[in-house]
C-alpha cells in the first residue's frame, strides 16, 4: 500500500485517524496499530509479511537474555550478538544481493551459475536495521529489554516508517510504547505534516521525475551538456522531495498516534560542503552507520589513516545498503572520497561561501547522476556530457524545447524555494514580530487544505508511482 494511493487516503487513513482519536487506552491502541500495520504491509507483500514476523520473533528471543548476561558471560553475549547480526545480514543478503552477487561472479569468471530470481521484500533494509540496532543496544545497555513481544512488534512493524524510514532506533521510542498521549492539536499537526509530505511527492517529485525519465531514456548520442545537467539537477530535486516527502508523511502519521520520530532531513541542499550535506541528508541512516559501524571500527581515535579507512568503509556500506547495483557502490565510494578530500586536503569551510556552495551542490548533483543511472556506462556518459557535451542533435534540441514549459518552470521554481527554510523562517519571523501566531496557523492549515485538493486532482489523473526508496 502506498501513502499516495486512493486506497490509503480514502480507506486506510480515515480508519487510522479514528483509531488514534478514539482509542485512549495505550494497550488497546497498540494492539490495533499492530493489526493495522501488518495489514498495511500484507496488502502489497502477503507472503513476505511472514519474513518480517520471523525477523521480529528471532531478534526478540535473542535480546531477551541481554539484561542477565550484559555484564557477565562475555562469550555468550558475543555469541548471541553474532547470531543476531548473522541472521539479519544473511536474510538481507539473500533477498537483496544474491542475484547481484551471482551475476558479478558470472561476469568476472565466465561461469554460468543460474541467477536466482528472488523478489525484494519492500522495506527489508529498514526493518532489518531497526531489529539489529535493538539487539545491539540491548546488549550495550543503552536500552531496556522489551519483554512484551507485542510492543516490540509495534516498534518494528509500525506502518508509517516501515517501508522507507526513517530508521527508528528502539531507545528513541521505548518510553513512547508504554506512555504517550495525543490530542486534537497533535492530530491536526500530524495531518498537516502528512499533507506537506504528500504535496512534495505528488506535486514536485512526480513532476520533475517525468522529465528526468525522459532524459535518461535518450540515447547517449542525443545528450548534451544542458540535458546532462538538467537530468542531474532535476533528479537531485526529485529524490529529495520524494524521500523527504515520505519522511514527512511518516513523522506526521506517527505524531497523530503520539509518537515522536526524529527528523530525517534538515534542508540538505543548503550545505556548503559534502560533509555538511551528510549531516543533513537521510539523518537516520547516517547516525545508524555512525553508531553501529564507524564508532565500533574505532571512529577517529586510531590515527588519520585508520580514520580515513573507517570513513571510506562507512560510505562503501552506505552505497551497498541502497541496492544491488554497481552504480550505488560507486556512488558510496564517490562520496567517501570527497569526505576524505574535505577532511585532509581541500577544506571548503575556509572558502568564500558562494564558491563552497557551488562546489558542494555540484558534487551532490554529479553523485546523484551516478545514483540514478541504470548502469556504470550510462553514468559515465552523463558525466562526460556534463563536461564536454557541446554537440546538439535534433533529438536533444527537441527534448530541451519540450522541457521548457511554463508549468515545468513554475514547479522547478517552487522546488528551489521549498528546498530552503525561507518560507518556514519568514512565517515564524512574522508571527513573532507582529504577534499573529493564530493568523499564521490559520494560513498554514488553509494552505494544507489547498494542497490536499491539488494532490487529490493529481492522484486522480496519474498512474501508480511508488516512492524511490521503496526499492531499498
Reduced 3-state DSSP string for 441-456: HHHHHHHHHHHHHHHH
Considering the domain architecture, whether residues 356 and 453 belong to the same structural domain is answered as yes
Considering the domain architecture, whether residues 406 and 326 belong to the same structural domain is answered as yes
Cβ–Cβ under 8 Å, residues 197 and 244: yes
* Residue 472, domain member (yes or no): no
Cβ–Cβ under 8 Å, residues 377 and 287: no
The pLDDT, as a whole number, for residue 463 is: 61
Of 180, 196, 218, the last residue of a domain is 180
> How far from 284 is each of 201, 289, 291, CA to CA, in Å?
20, 9, 11
Nearest to 289 by CA among 97, 470, 132: 132
* Residue 445, domain member (yes or no): yes
Q: What is the DSSP letter of 43?
A: H
Cβ–Cβ under 8 Å, residues 274 and 338: yes
The pLDDT, as a whole number, for residue 472 is: 62
Q: The cell 547480526 sits on which residue?
A: 85
Of 130, 152, 180, the last residue of a domain is 180
**Terminal Cα distance for the chain, rounded:** 16
Grid coordinates representing 317?
556500506
The pLDDT, as a whole number, for residue 73 is: 65
CA 201 and chain centroid, separation: 13
Considering the domain architecture, whether residues 198 and 146 belong to the same structural domain is answered as no
Q: The cell 516501515 sits on which residue?
A: 162
Other C-beta atoms lying within 10 Å of the C-beta of residue 424: 12
Q: What are phi and psi for residue 355, nearest 5 degrees?
A: -65, -40
* Residue 412, domain member (yes or no): yes
- The pLDDT tens digits along the chain (472 residues) read 788 888 899 999 999 999 999 998 999 999 999 999 999 999 877 888 999 999 999 999 999 988 888 666 678 888 899 999 999 999 999 998 988 888 888 888 888 888 888 888 888 999 999 999 999 999 888 889 999 999 999 999 999 988 887 999 999 999 999 988 888 989 999 999 999 999 999 999 999 999 999 999 999 899 999 999 999 999 999 999 999 999 999 999 999 999 999 999 999 999 999 999 999 999 999 999 999 999 999 888 888 888 899 999 999 999 999 988 999 999 999 999 999 999 888 999 899 999 999 999 999 999 999 999 999 999 999 999 999 999 899 999 999 999 999 999 999 999 999 999 998 888 778 777 777 777 777 787 888 889 999 988 888 776 656 777 766 6
* Residue 432, domain member (yes or no): yes
* Residue 1, domain member (yes or no): no
Q: Which burial class, exposed, middle or buried, applies to 305 when counting CB atoms under 10 A from its CB (0-12, 13-18, 19+)?
A: exposed
Considering the domain architecture, whether residues 160 and 303 belong to the same structural domain is answered as no
Rounded-to-integer distance, Cα 349 and Cα 326, Å: 31
Q: Which entry of 282, 322, 335, 347 is annotated as an active-site residue?
A: 322
* Residue 17, domain member (yes or no): yes
Considering the domain architecture, whether residues 307 and 454 belong to the same structural domain is answered as yes
Cβ–Cβ under 8 Å, residues 12 and 38: no
Rounded-to-integer distance, Cα 261 and Cα 169, Å: 9
The pLDDT, as a whole number, for residue 382 is: 95
Rounded-to-integer distance, Cα 145 and Cα 63, Å: 7
* Residue 470, domain member (yes or no): no
Grid coordinates representing 304?
588519520
Cβ–Cβ under 8 Å, residues 2 and 467: yes
Q: The cell 526529485 sits on which residue?
A: 238
Which pTM was predicted? 0.93
Rounded-to-integer distance, Cα 96 and Cα 118, Å: 8
* Residue 310, domain member (yes or no): yes
Rounded-to-integer distance, Cα 191 and Cα 199, Å: 12
The pLDDT, as a whole number, for residue 287 is: 94
Considering the domain architecture, whether residues 154 and 253 belong to the same structural domain is answered as no
Residue ranges making up the domain that contains 238 = 186-465
Q: How many domains does the chain contain in total?
A: 2
Of 154, 180, 206, the last residue of a domain is 180
| H or E stretch covering 58 | helix 49-63
Q: What are phi and psi for residue 254, nearest 5 degrees?
A: -65, -40
Known catalytic residue: 282?
A: no
Per this entry, what is the length of the chain? 472
Considering the domain architecture, whether residues 85 and 55 belong to the same structural domain is answered as yes
DSSP, collapsed to helix, strand or coil, labels residue 231 as: helix
The pLDDT, as a whole number, for residue 15 is: 95
Considering the domain architecture, whether residues 161 and 217 belong to the same structural domain is answered as no
Considering the domain architecture, whether residues 263 and 288 belong to the same structural domain is answered as yes
Considering the domain architecture, whether residues 244 and 141 belong to the same structural domain is answered as no
Considering the domain architecture, whether residues 27 and 84 belong to the same structural domain is answered as yes
Considering the domain architecture, whether residues 29 and 163 belong to the same structural domain is answered as yes
Rounded-to-integer distance, Cα 187 and Cα 195, Å: 12
45: left (phi over 0), alpha (psi -120 to 50) or beta: beta
Amino acid at each position: 500500500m502506498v501513502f499516495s494511493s486512493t486506497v490509503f487516503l480514502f480507506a486506510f487513513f480515515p480508519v487510522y485517524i479514528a483509531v488514534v482519536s478514539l482509542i485512549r487506552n495505550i494497550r488497546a491502541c497498540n494492539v490495533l496499530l499492530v493489526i493495522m500495520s501488518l495489514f498495511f504491509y500484507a496488502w502489497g507483500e502477503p507472503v513476505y509479511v511472514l519474513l518480517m514476523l520471523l525477523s521480529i520473533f528471532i531478534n526478540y528471543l535473542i535480546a531477551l537474555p541481554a539484561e542477565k548476561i550484559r555484564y557477565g558471560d562475555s562469550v555468550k553475549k558475543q555469541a548471541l550478538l553474532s547470531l543476531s547480526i548473522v541472521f539479519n545480514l544473511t536474510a538481507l543478503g539473500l533477498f537483496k544481493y544474491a542475484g547481484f552477487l551471482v551475476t558479478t561472479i558470472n561476469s568476472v569468471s565466465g561461469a554460468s551459475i543460474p541467477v536466482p530470481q528472488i523478489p525484494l521484500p519492500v522495506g527489508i533494509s529498514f526493518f532489518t536495521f531497526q531489529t539489529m540496532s535493538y539487539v545491539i543496544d540491548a546488549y550495550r545497555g543503552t536500552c531496556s529489554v522489551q519483554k512484551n513481544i507485542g510492543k516490540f512488534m509495534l516498534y518494528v512493524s509500525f506502518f508509517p516508517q516501515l517501508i522507507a524510514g526513517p530508521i527508528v532506533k528502539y531507545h528513541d521510542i521505548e518510553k513512547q510504547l508504554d506512555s504517550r498521549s495525543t490530542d486534537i492539536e497533535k492530530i491536526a499537526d500530524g495531518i498537516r505534516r502528512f499533507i506537506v509530505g504528500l504535496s512534495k511527492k505528488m506535486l514536485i517529485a512526480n513532476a520533475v521525475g517525468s522529465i528526468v525519465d525522459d532524459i535518461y531514456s535518450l540515447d547517449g548520442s542525443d545528450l548534451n551538456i544542458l540535458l546532462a545537467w538538467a537530468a542531474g539537477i532535476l533528479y537531485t530535486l526529485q529524490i529529495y522531495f520524494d524521500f523527504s516527502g515520505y519522511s514527512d508523511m511518516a513523522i506526521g502519521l506517527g505524531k497523530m498516534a503520539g509518537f515522536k520520530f526524529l527528523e530525517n532531513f534538515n534542508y540538505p541542499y543548503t550545505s556548503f560542503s559534502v560533509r555538511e550535506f551528510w549531516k543533513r541528508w537521510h539523518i537516520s541512516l547516517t547516525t545508524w552507520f555512525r553508531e553501529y559501524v564507524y564508532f565500533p571500527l574505532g571512529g577517529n581515535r586510531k590515527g588519520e589513516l585508520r580514520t580515513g579507512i573507517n570513513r571510506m568503509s562507512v560510505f562503501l556500506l552506505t552505497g551497498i545498503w541502497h541496492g544491488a547495483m554497481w552504480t550505488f557502490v560507486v556512488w558510496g565510494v564517490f562520496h567517501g572520497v570527497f569526505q576524505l578530500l574535505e577532511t585532509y586536503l581541500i577544506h571548503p569551510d575556509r572558502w568564500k561561501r558562494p564558491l563552497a556552495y557551488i562546489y558542494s551542490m555540484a558534487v551532490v548533483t554529479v553523485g546523484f547522476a551516478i545514483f540514478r543511472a541504470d548502469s556504470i556506462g550510462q553514468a559515465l556518459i552523463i558525466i562526460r556530457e556534463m563536461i564536454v557535451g557541446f554537440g546538439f542533435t535534433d533529438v536533444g534540441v527537441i527534448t530541451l524545447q519540450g522541457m521548457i514549459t511554463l508549468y515545468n518552470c513554475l514547479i522547478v521554481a517552487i522546488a528551489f524555494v521549498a528546498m530552503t527554510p525561507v518560507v518556514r523562517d519568514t512565517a515564524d519571523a512574522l508571527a513573532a514580530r507582529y504577534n499573529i501566531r493564530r493568523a499564521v496557523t490559520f494560513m498554514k492549515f488553509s494552505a494544507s487544505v489547498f494542497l490536499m485538493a491539488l494532490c487529490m486532482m493529481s492522484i486522480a489523473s496519474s498512474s501508480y508511482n511508488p516512492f524511490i526508496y521503496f526499492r531499498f
